[in-house]
């Protein structure tokens, strides 16, 4: 129970200049503190003064003399030309910018510098102090940041809020909810592209990681000093190398490779040829035993071609080239991943439902190991059921686990902490890491936590037959899942602007006149679909227990109407052509199937019996077309709305809900350029790691499947990375789709306690 504690009224201070935002960065003019995606970036005094001077006049030239005065004053007795150039270079390093291809700081020869990026400024307005929440003993950490007068930041331009709530709050200890200083989080890489999956050296001074290079064309293993600025490349095969794991004795780094002879390889951290130790690959980092002679490897789950051993954990010897032996068998439909060894006698891992079944649910389990490295007894559940786990690590000093939990590609991941001794325990949010944090790993001393942080946003692009694709709708918060109204004059889409949660927005078909529709509901909502008369928009929305339900709202605004209420989750609605029904996917039977509910409310009825995810009715209302999962494996199926035998209509993979039914056929997207481990279902690979590898689905073909001939023809090709969302205008001449921009960096949290 939470009791209110009243704070005395105080005289309100005057308004002051608030933070300035540009791209993923935010700088406080009062303190000079620079943050990227909410994480503080170290910036020296001189580069900070230059940045603030440029931000005061965005788009205008600031002369070198003006900057000299700003930094050193009127009486300058230094070689300010050299000093100014050096300070500008340090600023560019902090912003991951370059003089050759500037995104923020542009050089004008012999004149000065200009800030060229879009800038959003805020004014902090004082408001009356509010009652602070004080927590009763044992109630958790809900009121950690209470007791302070609140201020409101009013952004000039698009509405923008912090990337993750609570980044400035106190970090809570686990002993009685006592507050302690927030640990320092610093970036340790600033390369262009994507840097992910860190692994510490035994002494904690170096880190191995994956980087896709300056040209973002291939993934290789690199090593750098944690406090250094230069990285060394260890692998250079033309195929992708990923998931490095440093051995406890420091002699080897294990990794998974897609090269001509795929499998698990090891390489010296000093460089040299890589050596293959096992003919199997993985989608999470291996875990070393303490003697550095063997490791635990997770074998990915394969669907629909499941084979015994898929999703299980194996023991792979480093020497001798022996076949990995089964260590812990997964039940069919389960995927045991992200193995971690808590000493040599306890194996910890994420136990996940196969994502291809449409249920993104995991929990953490632990099992004891004998001296012969065999499981002893039954696995024990450490956590309650969670969403998708994208990383797991153990702290030998504190006995805690830190895990990354994500709800999908378009919902960010956070880091959570929980005791290994927990019994179906609920983890505690680690606010200091912020949003979109993945791949946590502790050093051997347990004082440093490294993780990767993804900056990914979707944009809506437009393609018309005979012309190139162009950016159509974009903001700093991401747009996706567009849908045309029936008359083609408006679109509805899912957007993150105006808050940290996605909501449904509408706009004119030319991209102007943005209006929020569900933002004030305060929950994740999206997947909008127009009713045939354009009066209503159906959408899905997350509940307090993380399940989803179907709602509808008038397209001009108003109170929402709930159409489903469990059990399980209901998602991705669409309307029958006569407007009487709303179709949706649901996992209420334990597997995703297509259901429908009366548009005015009532009892839902099941349509499919062999799987279903997203569905659209034919124009004549006699056929329902659907895919069976988010990845569209198996293609597009058809069945009568009243039920019956299903049949395959489009036999190629149609991912990301990317199809639209018209009177004479189906427009759809066919994926191209998808790299995945041999034998592993591309859809599962796409779900797990497209978030980190933007080139993993880097192009697609827009095709039209003609009902009369049963044949498909290519209308055009679009370049990616392609995200979720696809819509066709009523006249069939225009296609809207989502495209994702991604970058990732490595961070270290110092002083873990």
User: What would the pLDDT profile of 700-743 be if each residue is shown by its tens digit?
Assistant: 889 999 999 999 999 998 877 788 889 999 999 999 998 877 77
Residue 115: pLDDT band (50, 70, 90) is very high
Give the pLDDT mean for 58-64: 91
Location of structure tokens 């679909």: 529
Residue 71: pLDDT band (50, 70, 90) is confident
Give the pLDDT mean for 550-562: 95
Q: Which residues does 110 contact at the CB level (< 8 Å), separation at least 6?
A: none
Location of structure tokens 């080897």: 252
Rounded to whole angstroms, the Cα distance separating 388 from 396 reads 24
Tokens of 25: 């960065």
Rounded to whole angstroms, the Cα distance separating 350 from 364 reads 5
77/603: higher pLDDT: 603
676/461: higher pLDDT: 461
Rounded to whole angstroms, the Cα distance separating 598 from 125 reads 47
Of 500, 546, 524, nearest in space to 166 by CA:
500
Asked if pLDDT for residue 220 goes beyond 90, the answer is yes
Asked if pLDDT for residue 143 goes beyond 80, the answer is no
Give the pLDDT mean for 660-684: 66
Chain centroid offset of residue 569 CA: 21
Asked if pLDDT for residue 579 goes beyond 90, the answer is yes
Rounded to whole angstroms, the Cα distance separating 345 from 289 reads 9
Q: Which residues of 544-568 are buried (b: 16+ CB within 10 A; e: fewer)?
A: eeebbbbbbbebeeeebeebbeeeb
Give the pLDDT mean for 613-624: 96
pLDDT for the residue numbered 693: 38
Interstrand relation of 734-750 and 722-728 (parallel, antiparallel or unpaired): antiparallel
Whether omega before 721 lies within 30 degrees of 0, making that bond cis, reads yes
582/545: higher pLDDT: 582
Q: Which residues does 678 contact at the CB level (< 8 Å), separation at least 6?
A: 258, 262, 281
Asked if pLDDT for residue 146 goes beyond 60, the answer is no
Phi, psi at 71, each rounded to 5°: -90, -50
pLDDT for the residue numbered 196: 93
- Return the SS3 of 151: strand
Minimum mean pLDDT among 134-148, 238-252, 403-417: which range?
Answer: 134-148
Of 717, 653, 671, 674, nearest in space to 463 by CA:
717
Report CA Rg, the chain: 27
Whole-prediction pTM value? Answer: 0.66
Give the pLDDT mean for 499-525: 85
Q: Please, is 42 exposed, middle or buried when counting C-beta atoms within 10 Å of its C-beta (0-12, 13-18, 19+)?
A: exposed
The pLDDT mean for the chain works out to 82
Q: Which residues does 747 contact at the CB level (< 8 Å), separation at least 6?
A: 39, 185, 186, 187, 188, 433, 437, 450, 451, 452, 453
pLDDT for the residue numbered 16: 53
Do the Cβ atoms of 585 and 615 come closer than 8 Å? yes
Asked if pLDDT for residue 137 goes beyond 60, the answer is no
């Amino acid at each position: 129970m939470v009791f209110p504690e009243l704070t005395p009224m105080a005289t309100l201070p005057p308004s002051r200049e608030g933070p300035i935002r540009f791209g993923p960065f935010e700088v406080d003019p009062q303190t000079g503190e620079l943050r990227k995606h909410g994480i503080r970036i170290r910036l020296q005094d001189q580069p900070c003064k230059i940045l603030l001077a440029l931000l005061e006049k965005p788009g205008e030239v600031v002369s070198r003399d003006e900057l000299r005065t700003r930094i050193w004053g009127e009486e300058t007795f230094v070689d300010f030309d050299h000093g100014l150039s050096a300070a500008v270079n340090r600023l560019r390093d902090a912003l991951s910018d370059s003089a050759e291809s500037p995104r923020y700081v542009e050089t004008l020869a012999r004149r000065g510098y200009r800030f060229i990026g879009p800038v959003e400024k805020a004014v902090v307005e004082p408001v009356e102090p509010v009652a602070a929440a004080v927590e009763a003993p044992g109630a958790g950490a809900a009121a950690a940041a209470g007791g302070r007068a609140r201020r409101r930041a009013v952004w000039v331009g698009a509405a923008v809020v912090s990337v993750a709530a609570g980044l400035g709050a106190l970090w809570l200890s686990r002993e009685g909810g006592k507050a302690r200083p927030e640990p320092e989080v610093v970036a340790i890489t600033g390369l262009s592209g994507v840097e992910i999956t860190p692994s510490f050296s035994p002494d904690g001074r170096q880190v191995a990681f994956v980087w896709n290079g300056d040209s973002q064309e291939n993934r290789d293993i690199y090593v750098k000093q944690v406090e250094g600025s230069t990285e060394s490349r260890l692998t250079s095969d033309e195929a992708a190398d990923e998931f490095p794991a440093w051995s406890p004795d420091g002699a080897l780094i294990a990794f998974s490779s897609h090269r001509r002879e795929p499998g698990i390889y090891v390489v010296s951290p000093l460089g040299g040829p890589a050596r293959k130790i096992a003919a199997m690959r993985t989608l999470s980092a291996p875990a070393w035993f303490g003697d550095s002679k063997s490791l635990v490897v997770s074998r990915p789950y394969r669907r629909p071609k499941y084979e015994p051993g898929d999703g299980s954990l194996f023991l792979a010897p480093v020497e001798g080239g022996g076949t990995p032996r089964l260590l812990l068998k997964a039940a069919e439909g389960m995927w045991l991943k992200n193995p971690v060894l808590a000493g040599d006698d306890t194996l910890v891992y994420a136990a996940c439902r196969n994502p291809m079944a449409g249920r993104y649910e995991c929990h953490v389990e632990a099992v004891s190991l004998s001296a012969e490295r065999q499981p002893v007894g039954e696995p024990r559940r450490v956590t309650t059921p969670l969403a998708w786990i994208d990383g797991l690590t153990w702290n030998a000093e504190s006995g805690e686990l830190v895990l990354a939990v994500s709800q999908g590609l378009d919902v960010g991941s956070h880091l959570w902490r929980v005791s290994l001794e927990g019994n179906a325990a609920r983890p505690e949010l680690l606010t200091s890491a912020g949003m979109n944090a993945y791949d946590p790993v502790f050093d051997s001393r347990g004082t440093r936590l490294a993780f990767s942080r993804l900056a990914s946003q979707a944009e809506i692009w437009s393609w018309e037959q005979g012309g190139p694709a162009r950016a159509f709708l974009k903001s700093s918060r991401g747009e996706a899942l567009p849908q045309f109204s029936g008359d083609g004059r408006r679109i509805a889409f899912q957007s993150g602007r105006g808050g940290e949660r996605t909501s449904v927005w509408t706009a004119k078909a030319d991209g102007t006149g943005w209006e929020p529709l569900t933002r004030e509901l305060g929950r994740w909502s999206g997947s909008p679909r127009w009713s045939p008369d354009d009066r209503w928009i159906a959408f899905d929305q997350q509940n307090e227990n993380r399940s989803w339900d179907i709602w509808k709202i008038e397209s001009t605004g108003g109170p929402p109407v709930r159409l489903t209420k469990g059990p399980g989750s209901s998602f991705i609605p669409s309307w029958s052509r006569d407007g009487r029904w709303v179709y949706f996917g649901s996992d209420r039977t334990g597997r995703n199937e297509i259901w429908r509910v009366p548009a005015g409310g009532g009892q839902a009825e099941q349509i499919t019996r062999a799987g279903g995810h997203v569905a659209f009715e034919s124009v004549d209302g006699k056929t329902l077309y659907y895919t069976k999962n988010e990845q569209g494996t198996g293609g597009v199926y058809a069945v009568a709305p009243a039920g019956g035998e299903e049949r395959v209509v489009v036999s190629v993979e149609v991912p990301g809900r990317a199809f639209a039914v018209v009177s004479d056929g189906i427009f759809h997207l066919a994926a191209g350029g998808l790299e995945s481990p041999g034998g592993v279902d591309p859809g599962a690979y796409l779900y797990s790691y497209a978030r980190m590898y933007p080139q993993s689905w880097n192009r697609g073909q827009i095709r039209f499947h003609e009902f009369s001939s049963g044949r498909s023809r290519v209308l055009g090709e679009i370049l990616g990375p392609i995200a979720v969302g696809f819509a066709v205008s009523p006249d069939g001449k225009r296609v809207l789709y989502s495209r994702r921009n991604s970058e990732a960096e490595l961070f270290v949290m110092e002083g873990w306690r």
